[in-house]
Amino acid sequence: METTQPQKIELKSFLNAHKVSRYQYFIFFLCFLILLLDGYDTVVVGFIAPALLHGWSLNHTELATMFGMGLAGLTLGSFLSGPIADRLGRKGVIVGSVALFGVVSLASAWSPTIGALTFMRFLTGLGLGGAMPNAYTLAAEFCPDRLRSTLVAPIGCALGGGGAIGGLFASKLIGAYGWPSMLIVGGVLPLLLLPVLMFGLPESVRYRVVSGKGRDKLAETMRKIAPGEDFSDKEFVISEAAPLNSPVRGLFARNLFGGTVCLWIAAFCCLLVVYFLGSWLPVLINGTGIALSRASLMTAMYLTGNTLGAIVLGYYMDRVNPQYVLAFAFLLASIAMFSFGYLMADPLLSLIALFITGVGSGGTMTGTNILAAGYYPTPNRATGVSWTLAMGRVGSVVGSIVGGAMLAAHWGIAPIFAAIAVPIFVAGLSMLALSRYRRMVARRSGADAVEGAAAVA
C-alpha cells in the first residue's frame, strides 16, 4: 500500500510570507522583559556602590574589583551560553540563565563581606551573560526577515530601560531600606518571571527544524503563529546547512570567517566606547566645572541617543543595506565624539554631539547584535550572537581601564575624546568591510553554483 509523503513547507519562506501574529508579539514581549531585568541587574551595583563605600568602609580598588568580576562573569557567560544553546536549545539556556541571576542576586542581599559580594556578582554575571544574547537570538528566529531589525531593536532598548528603572528604585529604596533592597528587587522580579518563561516561552522554531528535536511541539507552536492554517500531513524544512559538529568552529567556516572578524571588531570597539562613557562621562564633565544639573542633562542626552538610536537604526536596517546604516552611524558618532571635547562649553552643540554619540555607540551595539543574528545560520546562530557580544564585553573591560589610565596620566578633555573617537571610527570601517565581504561571498557562491551545474551537465 502506497504511503503519502507529507507536504514539505520551507519554514523561513512561511514566516516571511505571513504577517506577524499576536503570539509572535507575545514572544517579543517576553524577550523584552528578560532584557529589562538583565539591564536592571547589570547596573544595580553602580547604584549601591556609594552605600557600600561608606557602609563597609571600602576603598575604590575593592569596588573596582567587584565591578570587574561582574564584567568577567558577563563575558564568560556569553562565551559559554551560545554553544550550549546551539546544542540544547535557546529556551533552556534562557530559563536557566534567568533563574541563575535571579537566585544569586537575591542571595547577594545577605552578603557579609565585599569578598562574598564580589563572588556573587561574578555568578550573577554568568546568568546575565547567558540571558541577553539568547533572548536576542530567540526573538530574531521568530521574525520574518523583512522586519527582523525593526522588531528586535525595541527589545534591545529594554537594557537601558532596566538601568533607568534601577535609578528610580534607588532613589526610593536605598535611603529607606538600605542597599540590600536593590538586590532583593533584582532577585525577586526574575524569579516571578520564571514560571511565565517556563510555560509561555516556546523553543525556537528554526532550532527545532534544524535540530529535529521536538517536532510535535513545533506543530503546536506553528498553529499559534498561523491559527488558520492546517498543518496535518505537513513537514517543515529549512534551507540551511546541517547541524555542525562544533558551533564555534562554524564561526570560522569558509563563507563566515571574514564576517566573524568584522563583527567582533565592531562589537569590541563599540562596547569599549559605551563602557568608557558609562564609567567616566559624568566624571569628565564634572571635572570641567560644569554644574551638576547640566552634567546630568548631558548624560541623559547620551542615554536618550542610545535608546532612540536603536529604534531608528533598526527601522532603516530593514530597508537599506544594514552594514551601511551602521557604518554611517559609527562614522558620524566618531566625528561627534571628536568634536565634543571642543564643544563642551556650548550648551546646545554639546548636547547634540552627545546625542549623536549615543546613537552611534549604544544604538549601534543593538544593531550589531541584530546583524549577527541575521548573519549566522541557525546551527550556530546562538554561538555567533553570544560570541560577538562576548568580544564586546572584552572591549568594555578595556574601555574602563583606558579611561582610568588617561585620567591618571592627566590627559586633557579634548585629547581624551579625540582618542576615544578612534575605536568607533574603526567600528565603522569594519561594517564597510563586512558589506564588501558579504558581496564577495555571494559572488563566489554564485560562481560555485554555476560550476556545479556545469559539472552535472
Give the pLDDT score at 241: 61
Residues of the chain falling short of pLDDT 70? 1-4, 240-245, 279, 282-283, 286, 291-293, 296, 446-457
Give the pLDDT score at 84: 93
Give the pLDDT score at 452: 41
Contact 436, 367 (CB under 8 A): no
Give the pLDDT score at 457: 35
Give the tens place of pLDDT for each residue, 313-353: 999 999 999 999 999 999 999 999 999 988 887 878 988 99
Contact 334, 422 (CB under 8 A): yes
Give the pLDDT score at 242: 59
Contact 5, 127 (CB under 8 A): no
Give the pLDDT score at 47: 81
Q: What is the 3-state secondary structure (H, E, C) of 102-146?
A: HHHHHHHCCCCCHHHHHHHHHHHHHHHHHHHHHHHHHHHHCCCHH
Q: Can you tell me the distance from the alpha carbon of 350 to that of 287, in angstroms, rounded to the nearest whole number?
A: 16
Residue 258 grid cell = 571574514
Question: What is the CB-side half-sphere exposure of residue 349 using CA atoms within 13 A?
Answer: 12
Give the pLDDT score at 166: 83
Q: Long-range contacts of range 47-51, CB-CB < 8 Å, 24 or more positions apart?
A: 47/166, 47/167, 47/169, 47/170, 47/174, 47/182, 48/170, 48/174, 48/179, 48/182, 48/183, 51/174, 51/178, 51/179
Contact 385, 136 (CB under 8 A): yes
